[in-house]
Chains A and B, each alone.
Chain A
Amino acid sequence: MIIRNILILTLNDLAISFKNKTIYLILFIPFFVFFSLELVDSKNTEIKNINIGLIQKEIYAPDILQAITTGAGVFTVYHVASEDEGRKWLKEKKIDGLLLKSEKDQNSLVLVVLKKEALITLSIVESFAALQKAVEGNSINWISDIKPLQEEGIQKQTLPTWILMLVLLVSFIIMPAQVAEEKEKKLLLALLQTPMREIEWLIAKLLLGMILILVAVLSLHLMGRFNFENAISYAAFMAVGSFCFSSYGIFLGFLCRNQASARTLGVIFYLPHLLPSALSDFSQKLTAIAPFLPSYLFYEPVKSILLDDGRITNLFWEWTYLLLVGLLTFFFAHLLMKKRWLM
């Protein structure tokens, strides 16, 4: 009898998990992680053409120069006017690495990259080693030093990823559940029986999301003692980003009848926004997909502002895109609220 009851209750719980869509989450997470890992562990990363920058007036060792320029299609060489221009191209990802002549040894090079711990850096070094072996056999490495543009510690380098996680957590997990709870408990309908306008409620919710994001991000900065130089650009971009994602989260909340559905839907949106953006440094395929996501257009500028001295004035496309996504989702949320959708 006990086993029978346990079975009945288990089946009932499973039926509930189907009803509130939890089961989809259980299937979706492994599928999505597997799919992302497949892209990260792409087998053909080493054959990707590497864009390498050389300074026009720099005198490189002739045999190295010849090997690079005729490097069996591995390298595409770009000539830059100066080291500063090369660094700028590197930040803009026009080139993957910049070669400078080593001051210590005339026959070796210094490789300047965006990040020392990135897949592309490893790829460049490996390609150089293979090229050198083909030309000279075993001898002293052509690349004697690797200098990253982003000199900060690993903690600061991962800061944009943590910020993205926090923003998406508030937007896709907390906000939809909050909206769905007010719908499920008919609290929103009670509020709509007052002279309150729909748009007032939406703006209040939007502000809540933005405040939660601001508090979370500020706490992270205070606890980690991370300072930021471009405070105005950073604050402005965070304001646009938090507007976009809070609005997105509210819209998702309107698509759900109850909190359980909202949490499931939140996770379904959370992972595809987080992983491709956060892992884009490690996968060329993800780098190709990620720019279509608003999370990437938030993550990259935050990274640029925090680590590369980026400014909001140079990020016009990114903040315009986020603003448009925010306005669009706000409009749809308003439409669903007016229609009393799933209330």
Chain B
Amino acid sequence: MQIKIHNLSKVYSENRGLLQVDLEVEKGELIAVIGHNGAGKSTLLNILASWLHPDSGQVLVDGINLRNRLSVVRKIGFVPETPNLFDFFSVEYNLQLFARLFQVPFNRIEEILKEVDLLPFRNNKIRVLSKGLKQRVSIARALLADPSVLLFDEPTSGIDFEMTKEIYRLLKGYHALGKTIIFTSHRPEEIKTLATRIIVLHQGYLVFDGSPLKYFQSAIHEKLYL
């Protein structure tokens, strides 16, 4: 068991968030977390990425409590929906900064730039890049410490078809390498193409957990998308 979530809750003032979620994730799974806006998808990922502290419950990653941030931070890479990069600096500068903080050698940057096909853009300032390219820089940064768990919040939101295909290629590639991937999505075709397991959140509660086949035959899918 790589990730164990027990009785996890995070309630916002407007009655949104996550309520008593229990979940277990095996190593190498590719999980799609779906649900309406405000269902708690991003909250779940934000908690796993240590962006948010839960109100109650606990998360264990490889047996280590998430509250022990410094011990689990190298195990989890997070790609948020809106890339949060230092806009005034170049792609390379951004990666170098985080490589220094992760204490990984600079030749790792070369490898990653090649992997995510960003070598031609290495000297470009972040602010001049398209959203798709920024998203790839964000992915590159998340991969710097070679984490075993990758979290993607709406990875293809607001990006064009070509870039979306590129992101799918990267997700499949990292899944093939044995990494555990959890992503949130609104797109049925994305879920169908990529996921090995689907989790549905509704008003903060986990209402479905199963294979894509079971999900697409279920009433929940019809309720959500049809």
Contact = CB atoms under 8 A, between A and B. Distances in A.
B78 interface: yes
A191 B103 CA distance: 13
Interface stretch (B45-53, B170-178, B194-202, B211-219): B45-53
A343 to B, nearest CB: 7
Contacts of A196: 101
Contacts of B25: none
B168 interface: no
A190 B141 contact: yes
B84 A187 contact: yes
Contacts, number: 44
B226 to A, nearest CB: 34
A194 B98 CA distance: 7
A153 interface: no
A52 B77 CA distance: 72
A47 B78 CA distance: 69
A9 B103 CA distance: 49
A195 B50 contact: no
Contacts of B101: 191, 194-196
Given A190-B141, A195-B70, A195-B74, A339 B84 contact: no
A149 B51 CA distance: 58
Nearest to B53: A340
Contacts of B74: 195
A197 B73 CA distance: 11
Given A186-B82, A187-B84, A187-B86, A194 B73 contact: yes
A193 interface: yes
A189 interface: yes
Determine which residue in B69, B78, B85 has the highest number of CB atoms from chain A within 10 A of its CB, and name it. B69
Contacts of B84: 185-187, 189-190
A192 interface: yes
B80 interface: yes
B106 interface: no
- Which among A185, A186, A193, A340 has the highest number of chain B CB atoms within 10 Å? A193
Contacts of B87: 185
Q: Looking at A186, A190, A195, which has the most chain B CB atoms within 10 Å of its CB?
A: A190
Contacts of B102: 194-195
Given A187-B84, A195-B74, A197-B70, A343 B51 contact: yes
Contact of B80 (A186, A191, A195): A186
Interface in B140-156: 141, 145
B49 A193 contact: yes
B103 A195 contact: yes
Contacts of A194: 73, 98, 101-102, 145
A196 B76 CA distance: 14
Given A187-B86, A195-B102, A340 B70 contact: no
A187 B84 CA distance: 6
A171 to B, nearest CB: 23
Contacts of A192: 50-51, 69
Contacts of B52: 340
Interface string A165-204: 0000000000000000000011101111111110000000
A181 B128 CA distance: 19
Contacts of A343: 51
Contacts of A193: 49-50, 73, 76-78
Max chain A Cβ within 10 angstroms of own Cβ: one of B51, B78, B80, B86: B51
Nearest to A196: B101
A249 B12 CA distance: 28
A340 B98 CA distance: 20
Contacts of B80: 186
A193 B80 CA distance: 12
Interface string B13-42: 000000000000000000000000000000
A197 B70 CA distance: 8
A197 B145 CA distance: 17
Contact of B53 (A190, A195, A197, A339): A339
Interface of A: 185-187, 189-197, 339-340, 343
Interface of B: 49-53, 69-70, 73-74, 76-78, 80, 82, 84-87, 98, 101-103, 141, 145
15 contacts: A186-B51, A187-B86, A189-B49, A189-B51, A189-B84, A192-B69, A193-B73, A194-B73, A195-B102, A197-B70, A339-B53, A340-B51, A340-B52, A340-B53, A343-B51
Q: Considering the complex of A and B, which 3 residue pairs feature the smallest CB-CB distances, nearest first?
A: A194-B101, A186-B84, A190-B84
